[in-house]
Amino acid sequence: MKLARYGRPGKEKPGLIDPDGKLRDLSAVIPDLGPEQLSDKSLAKLARLDFRKLPLARGKPRWGVPVSHVSKFVAIGLNYSDHAAEAGMALPKEPIIFLKAPSSLSGADDPIMLPKGSKKTDWEVELGVVIGTRARAVSEKEAMQYVAGYCVVNDVSEREFQLERGSQWDKGKGCDTFGPVGPWLVTKDEVPNPQRLDLWLDLNGKRMQSGNTKTMVFSVAKIVSYVSRFMTLMPGDIITTGTPPGVGMGMKPPLFLKRNDELVLGIAGLGEQHQKVIPYQAG
C-alpha cells in the first residue's frame, strides 16, 4: 500500500494511493495515519479495504508528512561507500547516529527555507524507514519485523553549521523545513529488498545525485537493530539512512542552495519530491 496524509498544515487527512495512482480519502476509516495505525495488524486491516468505495480527494492537495506524531527523527551519516569517498572520509566502523529535530519535518513538496545566516545549505536524497512496532535492543535478524514501510527523505543540511561550528552535527540538520518526507509511505510488503533501490536528485533540471541503496555501508536491518540498542524506537519514528554521492559539498568548487533553486528527487517505487528554495522568514 501507499499511504499518505494530505491537506493544509495541521489539517491533514489520511489517504491511500489506489492502483491507478489516485488519492482516496481514508478519514472515514481512520482518524489519522499515526503510530496507532502502523502496526502489522492495523496495516493488514487497511489492506483489506475495497479502495473503490473510498472517496477520491478533490483537486491537487498538498502532501503532508505521511506519518503524524513522529517522536524521533533519527539519521545515519556517511552510510554510502561512494559518498564517503566523495567526502574524503574513512568508512565508519559503526553507524554514525545523529538526530534531526521533529520540528524540521515538512511535506514532500513544501519549500525549503534557508536558515538565518546560512552560507552552505546542501541537499541529500535518502531512504527513510518508518518504524511500525516498538523496538528495543532487537537483533539484526528480527529487525525488519519492526518496520512499517519506507519513504523518500531529503536530509537538508547546512554544512557550515554542521561541520565548522563545533562537533555537533545536529545544528546543521534540524533547521525548520530541513526534513521533507514523503510524498507517501510505502508499506514494506511492496519493497521486498530495500537494498536494491535507485535514488536520484536533480537541481534546476541537472542530475546531481544518482545512486543505489546496494552501496550502503550498513543495511536497513543493521541500522534498525543498531539504533534500537541506544534508544527505544517507537511506532512512527523515522530513520533516514544516508545519501549517495553528488551532494553540493562534494562538488569542485562546492555548490550550495540559493533562493529560487528547485529540487526534484525520488526513489524507485517510493515517489518524488519537488521543492523550491526560499529565503529566511522570521516567525
Convert the pLDDT of each residue in 149-199 to its tens digit.
Answer: 999 999 999 999 988 887 778 889 999 999 999 999 999 999 999 999 999
CATH number, residue 168: 3.90.850.10
Predicted local confidence at residue 111, as pLDDT: 98
Predicted local confidence at residue 164, as pLDDT: 82
Is residue 204 pLDDT above 80, yes or no? Answer: yes
Nearest CA to 198 out of 125, 128, 268 is that of 268
Q: What is the mean pLDDT of the chain?
A: 95
Give CA–CA dist 158/178, Å, rounded: 9
Cβ neighbours, 10 Å, residue 262: 14
Is residue 283 pLDDT above 80, yes or no? Answer: no
150 and 190 in a single domain? The answer is: yes
200 and 141 in a single domain? The answer is: yes
Give CA–CA dist 26/186, Å, rounded: 16
- Is residue 66, in this structure, part of any structural domain at all? no
30 and 105 in a single domain? The answer is: no
128 and 221 in a single domain? The answer is: yes
Give CA–CA dist 240/143, Å, rounded: 15
> Which regions of 18-65 does DSSP assign to beta strands (E)?
23-25
Is residue 269 pLDDT above 90, yes or no? Answer: yes
14 and 150 in a single domain? The answer is: no
25 and 83 in a single domain? The answer is: no
Q: Which domain holds residue 8?
A: 2-53
Predicted local confidence at residue 254, as pLDDT: 96
The dihedrals phi and psi of 102, each to the nearest 5 degrees, come to -55, -25
47 and 137 in a single domain? The answer is: no
β-sheet bridge partners, residue 125: 154
Predicted local confidence at residue 88, as pLDDT: 76
Predicted local confidence at residue 279, as pLDDT: 96
pLDDT single digits (tens) 78-113: 999 887 777 777 889 999 999 999 999 999 999 999
Predicted local confidence at residue 74, as pLDDT: 98
- Is residue 167, in this structure, part of any structural domain at all? yes
pLDDT single digits (tens) 14-43: 999 999 999 999 999 999 999 999 999 999
Q: Which residue type is seen at 149? A: G
User: Is 283:166 a contact under the CB 8 Å cutoff?
Assistant: no
22 and 95 in a single domain? The answer is: no
108 and 206 in a single domain? The answer is: yes
- Is residue 85, in this structure, part of any structural domain at all? yes
Give CA–CA dist 212/191, Å, rounded: 14
- Is residue 224, in this structure, part of any structural domain at all? yes
SS percent in the chain: helix, strand, coil, step 5: 20, 30, 50
Give CA–CA dist 46/220, Å, rounded: 25
pLDDT (average), residues 227-248: 97
Predicted local confidence at residue 91, as pLDDT: 87
Q: What is the dihedral of CA 179, 15, 205, 175, to 10 degrees?
A: -10
Give CA–CA dist 248/242, Å, rounded: 15
Instruction: State the pLDDT confidence band at 280, using cuts at 50, 70 and 90.
Output: very high
Q: What is the pTM of this model?
A: 0.96
Total of domains in the chain: 2
- Is residue 68, in this structure, part of any structural domain at all? no
Residues 6+ apart with CB under 8 A from 146: 131, 132, 133, 134, 135, 138, 224, 228, 233
The dihedrals phi and psi of 84, each to the nearest 5 degrees, come to -60, -40
16 and 155 in a single domain? The answer is: no
Q: Are strands 96-100 and 125-131 parallel, antiparallel or unpaired?
A: unpaired
